[in-house]
A = this chain, B = another copy of it.
Amino acid sequence: MSILVVGSVAFDSIGTPHGRVQKCLGGAATHFALAASYFTDVRVIAVVGEDFGPEQEAVFTRRGIDIRGIEHAKGLSFHWTGEYSGNLSEAKTLGTDLNVFADFEPKIPEAYLDSEYLFLANIDPKLQAKVRAQMPNAKLVCGDTMNYWIADHRETLGEVLKELDVLLINDGEVRMLSGEHNTVRGAEKVLAMGPKALVVKHGEYGATAFFGDRMFLNGTPNPFRAPALPLAEVVDPTGAGDSFAGGFYGYLASQPSLTSAAFRRALFYGGVMGSFAVERFGTERLQDVRLAEIEDRFRLFKEISHLEEHPGDVPA
């Protein structure tokens, strides 16, 4: 089933211990859409400037992504500048030029209205709410946010949370949103704010899903932990979380029904797509993954986390 994603399509200038890139294609909606495109149809709502041309369009269209909802405005596209050091776990933002994004008013093309899966990437919760309101028949709504919106736009964000099925945020955001140090108690508080399920991203340690009692028809499952792949080399972590979200949501949308078993597998596919994303700068790796590579890595994720499933094992 089709996913509609609203979020940023941007240019990123990134420095990591592995090098620097200037104005490569980025943005949450871009990473998300590319990762999800390996599983299902994806439609994008965003705004770009005059610096976004056929070269950038082709990155989407080569993956079959529908970009009729990308609005072209006068001026430059959103431009983020940041760098990573040490273990690359956190970006230091050096510049945020909103440019055309400052006046972004999401408009949903008629052709997108039948999208059954909605993903509200990390943007102003006011815009997330506007898009949500225009998609009353969405079957599943998943969203992301960040520290900035939690700190300074809590009320608007609260309205968005009430309308979410799944919220995908990281450990620090759970602590900030809930005021709790303990992840389990923090998750309970966040679930009480509206989302039926909460996926907490732990970076190199994977992710944990917590479920409220309205998520699945067949009861409330225990929390579920999905691993991340231990990687010897992370070239550029930018967009890893959005790629995780794309793999997760793309897989979920590709399944015949929303079961807890599908949700668990989706978390593994999230980790798989996140692990590809960081192998090269920007979206380079996600532009060109083979389906067989995705399945191989899914098997590897099982092997590193499951007691059985080890083809190399010999009997004791």
Residues on A close to B: CB < 8 A?
Answer: 86-88, 181-185, 187-188, 202, 204-206, 208, 210, 217-219, 221-225, 227, 230-234, 255-257, 259-262, 264-265, 268, 300, 302-308, 310, 312-314, 316
Establish whether residues A225 and B222, one from each chain, have CB atoms under 8 Å apart when the complex forms: no
Using A221-B312, A225-B304, A225-B305 as known contacts, list a sample of 20 further A-B pairs with CB atoms less than 8 Å apart, ordered by residue number in A: A182-B231, A182-B233, A183-B230, A185-B232, A188-B232, A202-B205, A206-B225, A217-B314, A218-B314, A221-B310, A222-B303, A222-B304, A223-B304, A224-B305, A227-B305, A260-B313, A264-B310, A302-B307, A305-B306, A306-B307
Measured CB to CB, the nearest residue on chain B to A85 is B181
Given the complex, which residues of B lie within 8 Å of A310, measured CB to CB? Answer: 221, 260-261, 264
The 8 closest A-B pairs by CB, nearest first: A87-B181, A205-B205, A184-B232, A225-B227, A218-B314, A257-B316, A184-B230, A223-B230
Interface SS of A by simple majority:
loop
A-B contact pairs, 24 of them (CB 8 A): A87-B181, A183-B230, A184-B230, A187-B230, A188-B232, A202-B205, A205-B205, A205-B206, A208-B230, A210-B230, A218-B314, A222-B303, A223-B230, A224-B305, A225-B230, A225-B305, A256-B316, A259-B313, A259-B316, A260-B312, A261-B313, A264-B307, A264-B310, A306-B307
